[in-house]
Amino acid sequence: MVVRKVGPWSVFKMSVIFYVCVMLVLLGAGRHPVRMLSAMGLIDSLEDLANELGFGPGFTVHGDWLFIRGLWYGVALVVVGSVI
């Protein structure tokens, strides 16, 4: 089979598929270390250190909040990368 012509619409669709796959891999790769660090107690130690250093009483790290923000940034980067 010989490809003689590549249309911009097909390139755009493949670009969207590629960037969505990259985003899912990066989100998955980012979520598991945070869960492991939390299970080991390192997140709690970092929160205690931040409270002692004066970042405010009740400083906490919210993994779900970080994941949702990463998802929104990922979607924005998928759109930008696909358009470019």
pLDDT in tens, 8-41: 898 899 999 999 999 999 998 988 888 888 899 9
Higher pLDDT, 25 or 3: 25
pLDDT at position 5 is 86
CA 8 centroid distance within chain: 28
* Percent of the chain residues past pLDDT 70, beyond the cut: 100
What's the pLDDT band for 69 if we cut at 50, 70, 90?
Answer: very high
Given this model, what pLDDT does residue 3 score? 80
DSSP 3-state percent helix, strand, coil across the chain (nearest 5): 80, 0, 20
- pTM, two decimals, is 0.70
Domain boundaries, the chain: 9-83
Mean pLDDT of 31-54: 87
| Average pLDDT of the chain, as a whole number | 88
